[in-house]
Structure 1
Amino acid sequence: MALAKGTKAPAFTLKTKTADGLEDVSLEDNLGKQKTVLLFFPLAFTSVCMDEMCSVNQSLDDYSSLNAKVYGISVDSPFTQEKMAEVDKLQFPLLSDFNKEVAKAYDVLFEDLLGFKGVAKRSAFVIDEDGTIIYSESSDDPKQLPDFEAIKAALA
């Protein structure tokens, strides 16, 4: 069961890959400044995951106007994520949870999905400026996209 609304969000630092190299991104970077939207997705370059990330990319202005920073998180390597971001022209960071620690901490790690051990469930969390989860959603169906309108409502 994914971490519930009202829970203190587990701290993390994950890698993202940009043209400048590997960079660390921490939840702490946003605390006290803006809300954070975490979108866990199973695997890079799969059709549903690409559709989800492209949809979010098209709505970045909405999230920005609600004072929120958006991150996509999967267990893929940061190098694979960099290529996906490049192909899909994503304008928000994809964070590599290669060691599966963050998905486990947020309780959104599949033990087995179609024979793949330890990939993230499609999940969404909104974390307020104080580090408290104010929205939590997770699905055992990897084809079910998060409720983006509910996410935006939680940010308002």
Structure 2
Amino acid sequence: MALPVGAAAPDFALKRKIPEGLEEVRLSAFRGRKVVLLFFPLAFTSVCTEEMCRMTEGLNAYERLDASILAVSVDSPFAQEAWAQREGIRIPLLSDLNKEVARAYDVLLPGLLGIGDVAARAAFVIDRQGKIAYAEVTPNPSVLPQFSAIEEAVRRIG
């Protein structure tokens, strides 16, 4: 069961690939802003590609709502960057290779397709004080999150 609404969002420090190398991204650096934190199972898969491309299309709308979008998977930052370049994904993709953040948010999905543990498809909206204002884990990895509910949660924070 994912972390509930009202719980403090666990801080993390994850790497992302940027042109100059690797950059560390901390959730705590976004304090004072709204954050949409998405967990997705694996790069280069059809449903994950659809989700990240749809969120990229809505990036400007979230920015107007003073919200940042971060996406987390167990892929390496190098695989994530290759996928982002191929698909035009502009959301920061963060590597949780050791699966600690997926465990902290209680969204680790064991043994997907017999290939190993991955992050479940999940969405959290985190308010300006670092509390979870919305939490959703889809019933299985082939189901997209409720995009309208995520956006509404961001709007409600104000």
User: TM-score, normalization: structure 2?
Assistant: 0.96
Cα distance in 2 for residues equivalent to 1:31 and 1:116: 36
- Spell out the pairing of 1:1-156 with structure 2 (5 A cutoff): 1-32=1-32, 34-156=33-155
Query: Contact 1:121 / 1:140 at 8 angstroms: preserved in 2?
Result: no
Opposite residue 101 of structure 1, the aligned amino acid is E
- TM-fit CA distance, 1:116: 2.3
Cα distance in 1 for residues equivalent to 2:127 and 2:5: 11
Q: State the Cα deviation string for residues 102-143 of structure 1 (Å, max 9, x = none).
A: 000000001121112210000000001100000000024101
Cα distance in 2 for residues equivalent to 1:121 and 1:98: 14
Query: Contact 1:11 / 1:28 at 8 angstroms: preserved in 2?
Result: yes
Q: Is there any run of 5+ residues in structure 2 with no aligned partner, and where?
A: none
Query: Contact 1:43 / 1:74 at 8 angstroms: preserved in 2?
Result: yes
Opposite residue 25 of structure 2, the aligned amino acid is V
Cα distance in 1 for residues equivalent to 2:113 and 2:100: 21
Cα distance in 2 for residues equivalent to 1:13 and 1:140: 27
User: TM-score, normalization: structure 1?
Assistant: 0.97
Q: Which has the higher helix share?
A: 2
Give the secondary structure class of the aligned counterpart of 1:114. helix
Opposite residue 69 of structure 1, the aligned amino acid is S
Give the secondary structure class of the aligned counterpart of 1:69. strand
- TM-fit CA distance, 1:92: 1.7
- Misfit runs of 4+, over 4 Å: none
- TM-fit CA distance, 1:39: 0.7
Query: Contact 1:68 / 1:155 at 8 angstroms: preserved in 2?
Result: yes
